A and B are shown apart, each in its own frame.
Chain A
Amino acid sequence: AQSVTQLGSHVSVSEGALVLLRCNYSSSVPPYLFWYVQYPNQGLQLLLKYTSAATLVKGINGFEAEFKKSETSFHLTKPSAHMSDAAEYFCAVSGQNQGGKLIFGQGTELSVKP
Chain B
Amino acid sequence: NAGVTQTPKFQVLKTGQSMTLQCAQDMNHNSMYWYRQDPGMGLRLIYYSASEGTTDKGEVPNGYNVSRLNKREFSLRLESAAPSQTSVYFCASRPPGTVSGNTIYFGEGSWLTVV
CA distance A32 to B31 in the complex (A): 17
Partner of A100, one of B41, B90, B102, B109: B102
Q: Is the CB of B45 within 8 A of A43?
A: no
CB distance from B52 to the nearest CB of A (A): 14
Is B90 a contact partner of A98 (Cβ separation < 8 A)? no
B1-39: CB near A (< 8 Å → 1, else 0) gives: 000100000000000000000000000000101010000
Number of interface residues of A (CB under 8 A): 31
Are B108 and A42 in contact, CB atoms less than 8 angstroms apart? yes
Task: Check B90–A44 contact: CB distance below 8 A.
Answer: yes
- A104's closest neighbor in chain B, by CB? B42
CA distance A98 to B35 in the complex (A): 16
Contact of A104 among B4, B43, B98 (CB under 8 A): B43
* Interface residues on chain B, size class: 20 to 34
Is residue B114 within 8 Å, beta carbon to beta carbon, of the partner chain? no
A49 at the interface (CB under 8 A from B): yes
A51 at the interface (CB under 8 A from B): yes
B31 and A99 contacting across the interface, CB-CB below 8 Å: yes
- Could you tell me the distance in whole angstroms from the C-beta of B9 to the nearest C-beta in chain A? 9
Within 8 A of A (CB), among B45-71: 45, 48, 50, 56, 58
Pair A106/B103 contact, Cβ less than 8 Å: no
Pair B103/A49 contact, Cβ less than 8 Å: yes
A interface with B by C-beta (< 8 Å): 4, 6, 9, 32, 34, 36, 41-46, 49, 51-52, 90, 92, 94-107
